[in-house]
Chains A and B, each alone.
Chain A
Amino acid sequence: MTEKKIRVLVAKPGLDGHDRGAKVVARALRDAGMEVIYTGLRQTPEMIAEAALQEDVDVVGLSILSGAHMALAPRILELLKKNGQDQVKVFIGGIIPDEDMPRLKEMGITGIYGPGASTDDIVKDVREVMKELRNT
C-alpha cells in the first residue's frame, strides 16, 4: 500500500493582505509530496477549523503577520479541539516576537517560523512530527 499522503491546510487568519509567505510554504510542501489545501486570505478561526475538519488534515499551517497571533492561535486550537481534532498539529509562520514563542508552544503550537526560516526546515519538521504521530 502506498504511504498515506500528508494533508496540510495552509491558512491566513486575520486582516493583513500579504500571502506571499503562505504561498511559498504551500509550494514547498507540495514539492515535498504533500497535499496542501490553500484557503486564501482573511480567514476567521471558525473558517479555518471548519476547513480543517472537512479536509481531515494532519497539519494546519497558519501565516500571521498582523501581530494578532496571541488571540488567533489559542482560538484556533480551541476550535480544533472542540471539533474532536486534538491530534492536528499546528504550525505558525510570520512575525512572532521572541517573548511570545514559549507561550505559544505551551498552548500547543508545534512549530514557529520567523522571517528567513528555510522551507527545508519546515518540510523536515512536518515530516518528523507526522512520523512520530503515525508510529504511536
Chain B
Amino acid sequence: MSLTKSILEGNRLALARLLTQVENDLPEGRATLSELFPHTGKAHLIGVTGAPGTGKSSLVNQLALHYRKNSNTPANVAIVAVDPSSPFTGGAVLGDRVRMRDLAGDEGVFIRSMASRGSLGGIAQKTASLVQVFDAAGYGIILIETVGAGQSEVDVARLAHTTVVVEAPGLGDEIQAIKAGILEIADVLVINKADRPGAENTERALRSTLELAHPTKRIFRHHGRTMSTSSETPDSTIWIPPIVKTVATEAKGIGELAEAIAKHAAHLRQSGDWAARDRARLGSEMEALLREALMDRFMENVPPTAYQAIVESVANRNISPSEAVKSLLNGNRK
C-alpha cells in the first residue's frame, strides 16, 4: 500500500526496489503493480532496436538528452536497457550505461539495466512489466533498448508504440534488407554513423526495401485522377517509415529523429492505432499470464512421478509427445 503511494509520489528508491520485485516476479511486486495499473497508459513507449554496434545506446542517450533539454516542461524519461544473459551461467554484463553518462545528475531521468534472462525476443520476459511501473510512476517517455538484435528479435514492436530500428553503414547488403523480420517492424528507420563511408549505399538499400515492403501503399496518378493501390484503406492510416540519418556521438540528426517519432505518435493517435496497439499488447500480456497460471494449476494436480513416467515413455518411443499430452489432459496420470 505504502509502496504504491511512494511510487506515485516520485520516490526513486521505492521505484528502484519495486522494479527489482517485479523483475523477479515476487508476490509483493505483482500486488503493487496491480495497484499501480490504473495509473498506466499515459506514456509514449519507444523501442530502439538494431544489430550490435549500430549505436543504440548512444542514440538513446542523445534522444533522452533531447527530450530533457528541448522543452520548457520536459517529460520525465525512463530508459530500460536490455543486454543478454549468458545461456551457460545465467550471469550478465550490462554495459549500456557506459554510453549514457551525459544523463547523470538529472533527476528526471531514470535508467534501468535489465538482463534478458533467457528470453530470445530481444527483450526480457518482464520488460513489459517494468515499463508499466515507469508509466505509473509518471515517466512520459519510456525508451526501451533491446539487446543487439539480429533478424528475428522483434518482440519490442509488440511492446512499444513506436519502434525505431537502427542501422549503420557496412553491416549488410540488400539481401539482408529484404529478409523478413527486423526491418518490417520499423516505424522509424535510423542510419546511425551516417558520416561513415557507405552511408549512401545503406540508405539506397533501405529505400528500395521500403518500396518493396509497402507496395500496396503507393499513390499514383492515373488518367488524371489520384489513385491508390489499396482503395479500402484511407490515406490517413498509412504510415511509411521515414529514414533519418544520425551521428549519435556528435548529436547530429537527433532533432529530426525526435520529430519523426513525434509524427508517428500523432499518426497513431489520429488513426486509432494507438489504442489498438495498447489493446493488443495488454491482450497478449494477459494471455501469457493465463497460460502460465493454467500450466501451474495443471501441474499442481499431476504427481511429479507420474509426469516423469510419461516423459520416460515418450523418451522410450512408446508414445509420441502429442499422444502423451492427450493422455495427460484426459486425466491419465498413472
Contacts and interface: CB of A to CB of B under 8 A. Distances in A.
B89 A32 contact: yes
B97 A30 contact: no
Interface stretch (A33-41, A65-73, A95-103, A111-119): A33-41
A58 B238 CA distance: 48
Contacts of B85: 35
A10 to B, nearest CB: 8
A136 B92 CA distance: 27
A2 B90 CA distance: 11
Given A39-B97, A54-B16, A33 B90 contact: yes
Contacts of A39: 97-98, 101
B104 A54 contact: no
Interface in B101-160: 101, 104-105, 110-113, 115
Contacts of B92: 30, 35-36
Interface of chain B: mostly helix, strand, loop or mixed: mixed
Contact of A47 (B20, B89, B101, B115): B101
Nearest to A23: B93
Interface string A1-13: 1101101000000
B90 A55 contact: no
A16 interface: no
Interface residues of A, number: 32
Interface in A36-53: 36-40, 43-44, 46-47, 50-51, 53
A35 B105 contact: no
Contacts of A37: 94, 97, 113
A132 to B, nearest CB: 19
B91 A84 contact: no
B100 to A, nearest CB: 9
Interface residues of B, number: 28
Nearest to A40: B98
A31 B89 contact: yes
A32 B93 CA distance: 11
Contact of A53 (B16, B25, B98): B16
Nearest to B91: A30
B17 A56 contact: yes
B125 to A, nearest CB: 12
A44 B13 CA distance: 20
Given A46-B104, A50-B105, A55-B113, A33 B97 contact: no
B218 interface: no
A53 to B, nearest CB: 6
Interface string B288-303: 0000000000000000
B24 interface: yes
A50 B104 contact: yes
Interface string A121-133: 0000000000000
Given A46-B105, A50-B104, A54-B16, A35 B94 contact: yes
A55 B112 contact: yes
Contacts of A56: 16-17, 19-20
Contact of B16 (A36, A43, A47, A55): A55
A38 B95 contact: yes
Looking at A27, A40, A46, A83, which has the most chain B CB atoms within 10 Å of its CB? Answer: A40
Interface of B: 12-13, 16-17, 19-20, 24-26, 85-86, 89-95, 97-98, 101, 104-105, 110-113, 115
Closest 7 CB pairs of A and B: A40-B98, A30-B91, A56-B16, A47-B104, A33-B91, A56-B20, A33-B89
27 contacts: A1-B25, A2-B24, A4-B24, A27-B93, A30-B92, A31-B86, A31-B89, A32-B91, A35-B92, A36-B94, A37-B94, A37-B97, A38-B94, A38-B98, A39-B97, A39-B101, A40-B98, A43-B101, A47-B101, A51-B104, A51-B111, A53-B12, A53-B13, A54-B112, A55-B16, A55-B112, A84-B13
Given A30-B93, A35-B92, A39-B97, 4 more contacts: A35-B115, A40-B97, A46-B105, A51-B97
